Chains A and B, each alone.
Chain A
Amino acid sequence: MHFVVCAKQIPDPETPPSAFKIDESTNTVVPAQGFQPVLSQYDGIAAEAALQIKEALGDEAKITVLSVGAESAQAAIKQVLAMGADEGVLLQDDAFEGGDSHTTAKVLAAAISNLGDVDAIFCGRQAADWDVGQVGLLVAEELGWPAAILAKGVEISDGSMKTTRVMADGFETVSQALPAVVTVSNEFGEPRYPKLQQIMQAAKKTVTTMTHDQLGLDPSEVGSSGARLKLEKLYIPQSDSQVEIIDGETPEEQATNLIAKLVADKVL
């Protein structure tokens, strides 16, 4: 078996709102001082799902990590390698920049076709920066494979993938023939922490880099040239709410004063 984990490096989502800044001339987020970019946490959970299945198969599976990103995204790939993945490929090219979900999926699908023998693809439910949640499905569409999103459980056996999906009101179990794509949700559980020895081994591994040429992609169909959604403006919303702290000498007084406000506002 050969599994692919798609991993994205993102600005640390734990950056406090006060340190979150946007450069409005380029519509990009300004890296916050003191916060290193991280592996999108849902992708870590996707890697955990792939690793658990590999272990259930008695290690009879190879896991390749793919990331579309800049040179720095090697760190995200190495983190998944340290967790236990076998190989990493960074899809890095100026031509990939300024893309959207569609162009990212196109690059990933080209790399997966290039690998040739992939049985299942594991993605996070969404990247924790743009919060979109389409790349997994779009990779599946590019490849013509079935896909299940928002998994809290995944099993692979006898050429099929069984997924328990998180629904608004509960869970749904579906099965699909391999090769298939799954996007994994936070309900799956926490990813493992690599041991120091694994981190050191991963640091020594070579991450292959591939460009549009090697993937057989035309620059016009990827990055900003191929994007179908155009980002017009990225901005920080203005909060129009000015909090009114409720006075009172005692909790009872505060409570009574608050209820009086709610009644005056016709909320109660």
Chain B
Amino acid sequence: MAKNILVIGEHADSEITATTAELIGQSTRLAEGGLVSVALLGSSAADATQQAFEAGAGKVFVNDDDGYTEYNSDQWVAAIESTLESIDVILVAQSTVGRDLAPRLAARQGTAAAMDCVDVRSDNGEIRVTRPCYGGNALADYSFATSPVIATVRAKAFEALPLQSGASGEVIELPAPSESRTTIEGREVAEAEGLAITDAPIVVSGGRGLGGPEGFEDVENLAAAFGSNRAAVGASRAACDLGWYPVSQQVGLTGKVVTPDLYVAIAISGASQHMAGCSGSKMIIAINRDPEANIFQNAKYGIVGDYKAVLPALIEAVKAQS
């Protein structure tokens, strides 16, 4: 059964985010002949429009009014609601925007949002979603009793389509920003310098087993050996709670969800709330003194040993290889 799908897009520096392209890709697979639309709001949205078409969109709703640049729920909800006539499914990233927008849209539309999905599929024409719960200990499959279906989706849950250069489609202008009950008074960017942990192809993380903040020096040295343009440093919640490393680098359910090609977990026990933040990695390597540590259940390769002995050797071996 054909479905019309709306992807609520996000963009930065005139480019749609990787997750937006992934959601367009999956929407194209789910639409079964229906139309895939993308909504883009904020300055540089117009520049991102062409990219949305090349990523597979058939129609783009857009307004590049600067008033939309900082996400403001009332304004975004009003703009998105104006696009929903004949929309069957709405997908948005599990991002700062999606976490706020999806439940509000669901309430206004008399429907439900499934949050933080790792799969959205069509089961005999009916949308089913899968989402992790209980700190990653369990997965839950849901169907919807109401329409439209709304789901927020984790980064890298789906593959984007190959870009079709020169693709085009219908462009529809969205209304200007409405009144809002929320005044944005200021923003402060607090990200660590260098490669963002969510973008890095390699993430090297340290946990409570490091024994103190000084243990992160070895962790940082290993990341540097992989290359500062490739590897970023993460930390477990326990290490951040103890003040050993900045919260901005926390990996886990309440921190960042990372999906690198390689995740190196050093002195991390692998509590389920931590695994919820890294289980989407293509490969996990665990270095831990405790051979019974849960992290080994999720790792492809493991070294059982004290990080103080293993890391200096590993740093030399990485340097020798590159």
A and B associate: yes
Which positions in A face B, CB cutoff 8 Å? Answer: 11, 13, 16-17, 20, 22, 29, 100-102, 125, 128-134, 137-138, 141-142, 146-150, 162, 167-177, 185-187, 227-237, 239, 241, 243-246, 250-252, 254-256, 258-259, 261-263, 265, 267-268
Contact B138 A235 (CB under 8 A): yes
List chain A residues, Cβ under 8 A from B96: 150, 167-168
Given A133-B99, A232-B143, A244-B302, list of 8 further CB < 8 A pairs? A134-B115, A141-B104, A168-B95, A170-B188, A172-B187, A230-B143, A254-B313, A258-B314
Please provide the 5 A-B residue pairs with the shortest distance between their CB atoms, ordered closest to farther. A141-B107, A228-B112, A134-B103, A170-B190, A255-B313
Give the distance in Å from the alpha carbon of A146 to the alpha carbon of B182 in the complex. 7
How does the 8 Å CB contact mask read for B98-141 relative to A, with 1 for contact and 0 for none? Answer: 01101110111001111110000000000010001111011111
Contact A241 B138 (CB under 8 A): no
Asked if B171 is at the interface of the complex by the 8 Å CB criterion, the answer is no
Give residues of chain B (248-299) contacting chain A, Cβ–Cβ below 8 Å: 253-254, 256, 261-262, 272-273, 276, 282-286, 291, 294, 296-299
Q: A170-B191, A243-B301, A251-B310 are in contact. Are A149 and B100 (CB under 8 A)?
A: yes
List chain B residues, Cβ under 8 A from A261: 301
Contact A254 B305 (CB under 8 A): yes
List chain A residues, Cβ under 8 A from B223: none
Contact A138 B99 (CB under 8 A): no
Contact B135 A128 (CB under 8 A): yes
Give the distance in Å from the alpha carbon of A250 to the alpha carbon of B282 in the complex. 28
Asked if B224 is at the interface of the complex by the 8 Å CB criterion, the answer is no
B305: which of A100, A125, A251 is its contact (CB, 8 Å)? A251
Contact B103 A241 (CB under 8 A): no
The count of A-to-B residue pairs whose CB atoms sit within 8 angstroms is 223
List chain B residues, Cβ under 8 A from A13: 134-135, 273
List chain B residues, Cβ under 8 A from A138: 103, 106-107
Contact A162 B301 (CB under 8 A): no
Contact A245 B297 (CB under 8 A): no
For the complex, would chain A's binding face be called helix, strand, loop or mixed by DSSP majority?
A: mixed
Residue of A nearest to B272 (CB): A17
Q: A131-B133, A255-B310, A259-B317 are in contact. Are A245 and B142 (CB under 8 A)?
A: no
Contact A129 B133 (CB under 8 A): yes
B301: which of A171, A236, A239, A258 is its contact (CB, 8 Å)? A258
B187: which of A141, A167, A241, A256 is its contact (CB, 8 Å)? A167
Contact A258 B181 (CB under 8 A): no
Contact A174 B185 (CB under 8 A): yes
Q: Within the complex, what minimum Cβ distance (angstroms) separates A104 from chain B?
A: 12
Give the distance in Å from the alpha carbon of A217 to the alpha carbon of B283 in the complex. 50
Residue of B nearest to A237 (CB): B139
Contact A229 B112 (CB under 8 A): yes
Give the distance in Å from the alpha carbon of A186 to the alpha carbon of B250 in the complex. 12
Contact B300 A233 (CB under 8 A): no
Contact A102 B184 (CB under 8 A): no
A232: which of B128, B146, B297 is its contact (CB, 8 Å)? B128
Residue of A nearest to B187 (CB): A172
Contact B138 A243 (CB under 8 A): no
Give the distance in Å from the alpha carbon of A243 to the alpha carbon of B139 in the complex. 22
Give the distance in Å from the alpha carbon of A234 to the alpha carbon of B142 in the complex. 9
Give the distance in Å from the alpha carbon of A94 to the alpha carbon of B110 in the complex. 24
List chain A residues, Cβ under 8 A from B300: 241, 243-244
Contact A231 B142 (CB under 8 A): yes
Q: A177-B181, A185-B254, A232-B128 are in contact. Are A252 and B135 (CB under 8 A)?
A: no
Q: Within the complex, what minimum Cβ distance (angstroms) separates B96 from chain A?
A: 5
B144: which of A16, A137, A230 is its contact (CB, 8 Å)? A230
Residue of A nearest to B284 (CB): A241
A20: which of B134, B145, B284 is its contact (CB, 8 Å)? B134
Asked if B309 is at the interface of the complex by the 8 Å CB criterion, the answer is yes
List chain A residues, Cβ under 8 A from B191: 169-170
Give the distance in Å from the alpha carbon of A173 to the alpha carbon of B256 in the complex. 21
List chain B residues, Cβ under 8 A from A146: 74, 181-182
Contact A243 B286 (CB under 8 A): yes
27 contacts between A and B (CB under 8 A): A16-B294, A22-B138, A100-B112, A102-B112, A132-B133, A134-B115, A138-B107, A162-B185, A169-B191, A170-B190, A176-B181, A186-B254, A228-B112, A229-B114, A231-B141, A231-B142, A235-B138, A236-B137, A237-B138, A243-B302, A245-B302, A251-B312, A261-B301, A267-B283, A268-B262, A268-B318, A268-B322
Asked if B186 is at the interface of the complex by the 8 Å CB criterion, the answer is yes
List chain A residues, Cβ under 8 A from B297: 17, 239, 241, 243
